[in-house]
Amino acid sequence: MGFKEQIDITRLPEHIAIIMDGNGRWAKNQGKFRVFGHEIGVLSVKDIVEGCVDIGIKYLTVYAFSTENWNRPIEEVNALMELLISTINQETATLTKNNIRLNAIGDIASLPQKCIDDLKSAMDKTANNTRCTLTLALSYSAKWEILEAARKLAQQVKDQQINVEDINEERFSAQLTTLDMPDPELMIRTSGEHRVSNFLLWQMAYTELYFTDTLWPDFRREDLFEAIVDYQKRERRFGKISEQLN
Ligand code: IPE
Ligand code: IPE
Ligand code: MG
């Protein structure tokens, strides 16, 4: 039996987050330049999006470019931006056909103007799609996002719109870039690295973490289904004890 058949569709995670890692090492293993790994990595994104839509995942958030990734060699940064632009433009029609809404989180204003424009156009075109929301984390880092939220709340207090006592979990979450989505129940990181690299730190407070040695360009929907099967075997206790759960 394949992993897909083992999934209990009545207990699917609503939101899956993925740190797509290992493109560079994958390319190096083939004797190719790192950018080739990013190119094949796009095929993995497409397959995973289709896999999510196929089984009914409502939110998929993928870490595509971190704040820290700006520190990579300029040639690689430029190649990633080019790849982002071409992929967005090539895939908008498919997203529309499959009823997928494209969303982006991060410091979008820091991206090259062409990226911003094409991203916005693709997001506008897919804004009313309802089957699944695909969120690209671009120039994203959780510390950046949490600081932005803190600044906005501080400003609201300063402007006497809210009192300090009004700041609670709900209000804080509403200032984050993920305000319109549930927290991810499952986070997958490929390539054997066991860290979260500044991704969704607030939202992953109770997320189940799944690590695999598979490099991102090799990660396809059967691997996703395997991760979901693993997730469904876990007991999520949220601080309670086993006997309190039904
Ligand atoms: C992930 O693959 C893609 C991005 C961070 C943009 P890497 O480029 O980090 O690949 P490795 O980790 O060097 O193998
Ligand atoms: C994390 O991958 C960011 C993305 C996948 C976009 P990195 O490869 O940049 O992470 P670190 O720096 O090795 O932790
Ligand atoms: Mg990496």
Rounded to whole angstroms, the Cα distance separating 126 from 119 reads 11
Give the ranges where the chain is alpha helix by DSSP (H): 3-6, 23-29, 34-55, 74-97, 113-125, 142-158, 169-173, 221-232
Rounded to whole angstroms, the Cα distance separating 91 from 93 reads 5
Residue ranges of domains in the chain, CATH in brackets: 14-141+186-235 (3.40.1180.10)
Of the listed 21, 23, 198, 223, which one is catalytic? 21
Is 166 among the residues known to form the active site?
no
For ligand 2, say whether the CB of 197 is within 6 Å of any of its atoms.
Answer: yes
Of the listed 47, 54, 69, 98, which one is catalytic? 69
Partner residues linked to 18 by β-bridges: 62, 188
Can you tell me which residue has the tokens 């730190």?
A: 201
Handedness of CA 220, 226, 230, 233 (dihedral sign): positive
Return per-residue pLDDT of the chain as tens, 246 residues: 899 999 999 999 999 999 999 999 999 999 999 999 999 999 999 999 999 999 999 999 999 999 999 999 999 999 999 999 999 999 999 999 999 999 999 999 999 999 999 999 999 999 999 999 999 999 999 999 999 999 999 999 999 999 999 999 999 999 999 999 999 999 999 999 999 999 999 999 999 999 999 999 999 999 999 999 999 999 999 999 999 998
For a mutational test of ligand 2's pocket, the pick from 18, 19, 139, i.e. the residue with the most ligand atoms closer than 8 A to its C-beta, is 19
